[in-house]
Amino acid sequence: MEQPDWNTLSPARMWRDWIAKSEAQWSEAVSQMLKNEHTGEAMNRQLNEMQLLHRQFSELAQASLATANLPSRNDFEALDERMGRLEDGLAQVAAELSRLVQALAVSGGNANADQIVNTSRPTRNRKPASDLIQTRG
């Protein structure tokens, strides 16, 4: 008696073959359907209507959020982009400051890094706008 070929009876292989045949059949069916001019036009109209509905829903959602004084997705995306630019700028300033400290240390300056980089907050020397209005009157 001859032994069966276990490779052809493998469930994984049978599954893979079934998937490949199914994809080919679906591809052929969809290709035939799209070759029909009426089907293509109907699908095009349906996609255009879906895009219009999505755009209208997005505008309605943004208007509702604006009415409630809440940020929209676009607001968060703009804020994220702005924060990214600020972080990049801050990283550049930190890198330049580090290079400056190293250059001063190499040049033999007597000041150490703590003296070069002043971490205290600047004094507030500007009056609030409300105080300025009262003093002008």
Residues of the domain holding 82: 71-110
pLDDT digits (tens, 9 = 90+) for 99-129: 999 988 888 765 555 555 555 566 667 666 5
Claim to verify: residue 62 and residue 27 sit in the same structural domain: yes
Claim to verify: residue 51 and residue 81 sit in the same structural domain: no
Q: What is the pLDDT of residue 37?
A: 87
Judge whether 30 lies within some domain: yes
Report residue 24 as tokens: 């080919």
Claim to verify: residue 92 and residue 62 sit in the same structural domain: no
Spatial separation of the C-alpha atoms in residues 31 and 19, rounded to whole Å: 18
Claim to verify: residue 59 and residue 35 sit in the same structural domain: yes
pTM of the model: 0.43
Judge whether 84 lies within some domain: yes
> Which string of b and e fits 82-94 if b means at least 16 CB within 10 Å?
eeeeeeeeeeeee
Claim to verify: residue 75 and residue 65 sit in the same structural domain: no
Q: What is the pLDDT of residue 55?
A: 95
Based on the structure, what is the number of domains in the chain? 2
Q: How confident is the model at residue 18 (pLDDT cuts 50, 70, 90)?
A: very high
Q: What percent of the chain has pLDDT over 90?
A: 49
Judge whether 7 lies within some domain: no
Judge whether 135 lies within some domain: no
Judge whether 24 lies within some domain: yes
Spatial separation of the C-alpha atoms in residues 117 and 105, rounded to whole Å: 13
Judge whether 118 lies within some domain: no
